[in-house]
Structure formats: structure tokens, C-alpha cells
Structure 1
Amino acid sequence: MNSPSVLARPDVRFHASWVEAVAEYARDGSQQHGSGLWDFDPLDVRREFFPTIVEHLLRQGDPATVLPGNLVHSSYFWIVDGDEFVGYLALRHALTAWLLEEGGHIGFSVRPSRRRQGWAGRALAASLPEARALGLERVLVTCDEDNEGSRRTIEGGGGVYEDSRKGKRRYWIAVP
């Protein structure tokens, strides 16, 4: 990884700053892309429930975990600055038809107060060795047509624009 404090596996030690980030996302009205929280109410931030969320996310990357037919194994990372939760990054191990069209291998988001500070770009770069470890030679990363920040992040990370489909710009990044 580019920096030891860019990506971390989900961990209960990040609970306090994760709660703050969830509140920021809610106030901002933005999506928590890359969070893997579709099975949970993202506003349920109870400390006693948090280990369940962490364990759920960690299991998603384990090939021995049986997933519903529409899901692929995904390694979830949290973008961190020391002990502060900054955002989410999901690295999907394979592509379904939908992921090929719209979702891609990598999804990410940065909490509103930490945007425009380079976190997404550093996290994207740090995820590429993880993709290589999964045997991926290139990864698909997508963003909404009107998401200028994500477009710049992906292009800055080596993304080569292929096309747009269903309102999503599609980029391929060679994995070093």
C-alpha cells in the first residue's frame, strides 16, 4: 500500500469516527458508496451492534462465505487517517452483469468533511496491490456522469475511459 494509514480493514476501534461520518453522510444526503451496508440500516450506529457490522463486512471477502446469487465476494476497506474513519472502499473480486455495466470492481466514498483532500485518490492507489493479490490484471471503476470529483480521481489513478452506460462513466485501470 502507498501509506500504512490509508486503508484498513473494518474494525470496532473506528466506531466513534464512523458514527460521526454516518451523520455527515446523512446531513449531506450523499451515498455511502463502497460501504457494503445494504443489509443494515446505515443510521443504526449503536456501539453494541457495531461488531456485527464489522464481522459482516469482513466475511464478505472470504471465499468460504456463501453469498446470495446476486452478490460477489468483496473485500471491504475503510479509508482512514490514523484512527479516524474517512470513508469506504469496496474491492469486488469479480463482476456480475450489473457490476460490468454500472458498479465496477471498486467503489468508494469519502465523508463530506474530508473531501477534496486527496483521500479517494490515495485509497484507489492503495487498493490496486489488493486487486493484484486477488489475481486481477485490470479493474473497472465507474462514476456518475455528473460526478466531476470521482471522474478526476479515477482518471488521476490511471483510469482509461471506455464508454458511458446508463448514466455511468466506465474506466479501466491496469493493475501493476
Structure 2
Amino acid sequence: MLQLIEPMARLHCSWLEAHHEWGAGLHEDGFGLEGSDEVESPEGFAAWVARLADASGAKSADAERGCVYRWIVEGSRVEGGIALRYGLTDHVRQFGHIGYGIRPSSRGRGVATWALGRMLEEARALGLDRVLLVCAVDNLASAGTIERNGGVLESVRDTPHGPARRYWIAL
């Protein structure tokens, strides 16, 4: 059974398996991974998990900025990550309120659709009335996930990473 949980250091090995499936780079949206994060060692991983917990901030939509990170797990297997960014920062304007990534071997099972639905509940609880989601124009799987959760296409815009679809979901 799928669950959304707070990041935890005890899932280091499972998270690394998912991370290695993606290959090199920082392309797992939803995990909050930055270039300076060292996640291979248990100590570095624990420090990263602690940083994610600190990033949660005030957990209020009135806060200037903050982010809630959740891992998508099934049993003890990390299937992906999802992040709810709140506050209307430049980062949110460019990448959206919610970002997610599903490990390649778990795609096509509805995991992202399920996780996005649960994260929309967290957004409502924070008092948000709508959320922006952004995906690459050629990422049809992500576009479908967003549309299944009520996303309405606002526009397609050029970004530094290529053209992107911009969707709004009313809460």
C-alpha cells in the first residue's frame, strides 16, 4: 500500500536504490536534492534529511516561503518524492507549487497521480486556494497526471530548460 511519509534517514539504502535508477544528475524533482548534498554516506544522508525537515518552515500558506517534502513509499521501498512549495516565490513561479518524481521502475502504475492527489489535500490544509504545476512540454505522462487531478492548462512557455506546460489546479 502506498504512503506519503516525511523523509527519514532509516530509508537510506532504499532511497539510494531509487536515486541510482535515475542515473547521474539532479533531476528527481520532489526530493529537494541540491548539488552540495552528499547523500551516499549515512552521515551525509542524515544531514540532507535534516535539511529537508528544516525547510518545512512555518507550514502556513501565509509564510513567505516554505516547502513540505514527502516520500512516496510502498512498504520500505522508496517509489518517489513529492514537494509542496508555498509562498509565491520566483522558484514557485518557474517550477510550480508541487513537483514530483517517480523512480523509473515504478512509473505507469498511477503512483504520481495518487501522490499528487494526497499532496493537494496538504495544500488545502495550508489554506491554498489553487496551485501551479509545471512540466516539460514533452512529458505527456506528467501532463496526464496533472490533468487527472483537475489541472487546467494555462499556457506553454519557454524556460531555461525548454518549453514547459503550466497548469493550475483549483482547490
Q: Which TM-score band (shorter chain)? A: 0.7 to 0.9
* Distance in 1 separating the partners of 2:29 and 2:90: 19
Among candidates 91, 94, 99, match of residue 92 of structure 2: 99
Tell me whether 1:32 sits opposite 2:15 in the alignment: no
By relative contact order (CA 8 Å, sep 6+), the higher-ranking structure is: 1
* Distance in 1 separating the partners of 2:90 and 2:41: 35
The aligned amino acid for 2:32 is G
Among candidates 41, 45, 56, match of residue 46 of structure 1: 41
TM-score for the superposition, normalised by structure 1: 0.85
More strand as a share of residues? 2
Structure 1 runs not aligned, ≥5 long? 65-70
Tell me which residue corresponds to 2:145: 153
Tell me which residue corresponds to 1:79: 72
Asked if 2 retains the 8 angstrom alpha-carbon contact of 1:6 and 1:122, the reply is: no
* Distance in 1 separating the partners of 2:12 and 2:6: 13
Aligned-pair CA distance for 1:30: 7.7
Q: Given the superposition, is the C-alpha separation of residues 147 and 50 from structure 1 closer, same or farther in structure 2, using an over 3 Å criterion?
A: same
Aligned-pair CA distance for 1:72: 3.1
Among candidates 5, 18, 24, match of residue 15 of structure 2: 18
Tell me which residue corresponds to 1:144: 136
The aligned amino acid for 1:94 is G
Asked if 1 retains the 8 angstrom alpha-carbon contact of 2:26 and 2:35, the reply is: no
Tell me which residue corresponds to 1:68: none
Tell me which residue corresponds to 2:168: 172
* Distance in 1 separating the partners of 2:88 and 2:137: 21
* Distance in 1 separating the partners of 2:109 and 2:26: 17
Cα displacement string for residues 74-126 of structure 1 (whole angstroms, at most 9, x for unaligned residues): 001111112111111010011223422x3010000001111111110000000
Asked if 2 retains the 8 angstrom alpha-carbon contact of 1:6 and 1:126, the reply is: no
The aligned amino acid for 1:136 is L
Aligned-pair CA distance for 1:41: 3.9
* Distance in 1 separating the partners of 2:45 and 2:129: 34
* Distance in 1 separating the partners of 2:35 and 2:66: 15
Q: What is the RMSD computed on CA atoms of the aligned residues? A: 2.0
Aligned-pair CA distance for 1:37: 1.2
